[in-house]
Amino acid sequence: MKKVVKFGGSSLASAKQFKKVGDIIRADKSRRYVVPSAPGKRNKNDTKVTDMLYACYEAASTGASYGKLLSAIKERYEQIIDGLELNLNLDYEFKTIEENFIAKKGSDYAASRGEYLNGIIMSHYLGYEFIDAAEVIFFDENGTFLSEKTNEELSERLAHTERAVIPGFYGSNPDGTIHTFSRGGSDITGSIVARAIHADLYENWTDVSGFLVTDPRIVENPVPIETITYKELRELAYMGASVLHEDAIFPVRREGIPINIRNTNKPEDPGTLIVENTCRKPKYTITGIAGKTGFCSVTIEKAMMNSEIGFGRKVLGVFEDCGISFEHMPSGIDTMTIFVHQSEFEQHEQFVISNIHRAVQPDSIELESDLALIAVVGRGMKSTRGTAGRIFSALAHARINVKMIDQGSSELNIIIGVKNADFEAAVKAIYDIFITAEL
């Protein structure tokens, strides 16, 4: 049994948090490869070390005074070291960092030091080997991640390493300089390591007990999702749910390695298990609800349009010519409605309308703005009749007008359009009918 464990910034923000992490890792001998983030916020008003590093580098590389900033960063790490009672001194590392900042080694280099230093501390604390990510994770000269080269070299290196700490977020360019993934990229590093060692499980430890069924800013204390498929996750993420870094999914998904989202502060919680597929019956009919506001709809009417071959293609061609991607295109009889992002559409509005007139000579075109789209996602919907009925009864009961309904044969999700003003009430109503009522 081999597990890769990745810990987020809040899980490593202080010595107290490090101790929780240590307990978690020691509790399971299969947690052999550890990917740490940089220290995050210790409280609401704290600053993440990564942000301190960016600011310090900006000052140093432009010749401004940076001493205080660098000391504050060092102080963060020394507090952790002291709290863990480690015999470790980072003077040499900080001297190197200072030199490299002045030599303008790049903001990627600067940002990566947060994980790098945390990795050194973690390896001392655990007694695991430290492997600098720059030696095992590679980008090409254009900054594109080299997945196959990385996988080969990382597999080879870890085959001879029983237990190791590999800092997240960064790797190296062909010239040896540091290159980082986008923010939150430690998730990707963990996924890459899991793939390289053919891990049985990739544990992603954070400060929540897994993904929540819906946005906690809309519904108070939503229940966590126990098991979610990659596909469902992708759908919820697309519709605005903030979940794992998208690129973190590909490396493990191709190997069929499940991801377990866990809570460092509540290690007893099972968290959310992300899987390729499962026969496990979901606890609730739906897996999640996500949505976005700021859409508008263009409704085109023309008698006999259904029998006019090429009608839909011509209409979509007009949007394409303006570089506008469409979200959904529900149709009735003699009418079709195209949902687009309001921000993309507004500047091209009149151009689109006149070109639709030219392309298909409609009887009428109507516009409606300030609409929201909600996705109700769940593999359980396929085997449960009446899901649509429950959704629309709940919305009717909440006095919400449904502007659009779209469900294709996949039966994995139903998309509902409502007014922006009804968005939160609609999400709440759907949550209540499926979760509160099934609790």
Task: Give the three-class secondary structure for 115.
Answer: helix
- According to the binding rule CB under 8 A, does residue 355 interact with a copy of itself? no
Helix pair angle (311-321, 349-360), 10° resolution? 150
Greatest Cα pair distance in the chain: 81
Smallest distance from a copy of itself to CB 412, Å: 6
When binding is defined by CB under 8 A, the residue of 41, 292, 328, 348 that contacts a copy of itself is 328
Q: Which of residues 233-272 bind a copy of itself (CB under 8 A)?
A: 234-235, 238-239
- According to the binding rule CB under 8 A, does residue 320 interact with a copy of itself? yes
Q: Which of residues 281-300 bind a copy of itself (CB under 8 A)?
A: 297, 299
Smallest distance from a copy of itself to CB 299, Å: 5
Known binding residue 40? Answer is: no
Q: Which of residues 335-354 bind a copy of itself (CB under 8 A)?
A: 335-337
Nearer to a copy of itself, 69 or 395 (CB): 395
When binding is defined by CB under 8 A, the residue of 414, 418, 427, 435 that contacts a copy of itself is 414
Which residue blocks in 300-364 are alpha helix, DSSP H? 311-321, 342-346, 349-360
Smallest distance from a copy of itself to CB 409, Å: 5
- According to the binding rule CB under 8 A, does residue 365 interact with a copy of itself? no
* Dist CA 172 CA 421 (whole Å): 47
Known binding residue 20? Answer is: no
- The dihedral built from the CA positions of residue 246, 252, 257 and 261, taken in this order, carries a sign that is negative
Nearer to a copy of itself, 52 or 274 (CB): 274
- According to the binding rule CB under 8 A, does residue 273 interact with a copy of itself? no
When binding is defined by CB under 8 A, the residue of 58, 269, 312, 369 that contacts a copy of itself is 312
- According to the binding rule CB under 8 A, does residue 422 interact with a copy of itself? no
368 close to 326: Cβ distance less than 8 angstroms: no
Per CB under 8 A, the segment of 93-101, 141-149, 262-270, 304-312 that binds a copy of itself is 304-312
When binding is defined by CB under 8 A, the residue of 19, 254, 357, 397 that contacts a copy of itself is 397
Nearer to a copy of itself, 401 or 436 (CB): 401
Known binding residue 115? Answer is: yes
- According to the binding rule CB under 8 A, does residue 370 interact with a copy of itself? no
**In this structure, what token pair is assigned to residue 33?**
């490869």
Nearer to a copy of itself, 108 or 235 (CB): 235
When binding is defined by CB under 8 A, the residue of 47, 107, 161, 306 that contacts a copy of itself is 306
**In this structure, what token pair is assigned to residue 226?**
């126990």
Nearer to a copy of itself, 63 or 323 (CB): 323
Smallest distance from a copy of itself to CB 97, Å: 38
**In this structure, what token pair is assigned to residue 92?**
């040499």
Q: What is the DSSP letter of 303?
A: T
Smallest distance from a copy of itself to CB 265, Å: 32
- According to the binding rule CB under 8 A, does residue 146 interact with a copy of itself? no
Nearer to a copy of itself, 155 or 306 (CB): 306
When binding is defined by CB under 8 A, the residue of 60, 291, 413, 427 that contacts a copy of itself is 413
Residue 307: which residues within 8 A CB-CB, separation 6 or more? none
Residue 426: which residues within 8 A CB-CB, separation 6 or more? 291, 372, 374, 395, 398, 400, 416, 418
Task: Give the three-class secondary structure for 46.
Answer: coil
* Dist CA 194 CA 189 (whole Å): 9
User: Other CB atoms closer than 10 Å to residue 308's CB: what's the count?
Assistant: 13
DSSP β-ladder status, 272-275 and 227-229: parallel
Sequential DSSP letters for 188-207: HHHHHHHHHTT-SEEEEEES
- According to the binding rule CB under 8 A, does residue 399 interact with a copy of itself? yes
Sequential DSSP letters for 133-184: GGGT-BB-TTS-B-HHHHHHHHHHHHHT-SSEE--SSEEE-TTS-EEE-STT
Nearer to a copy of itself, 86 or 388 (CB): 388
Smallest distance from a copy of itself to CB 304, Å: 8
61-99 residues labelled b (16+ CB within 10 A) or e (exposed): beeeebeebbeebbebbbebbeebeeebeeeebbeebbe
Per the annotation, binding residues are 6-9, 50, 115, 206-207, 217
- Residues lying near a copy of itself in the complex (CB under 8 A) are found at 231, 234-235, 238-239, 297, 299, 301, 303, 306-310, 312-313, 316-317, 319-320, 323-337, 366, 368, 375, 377, 385-397, 399-415, 417
Per the annotation, binding residues for ATP are 6-9, 206-207, 217
Per the annotation, binding residues for substrate are 50, 115
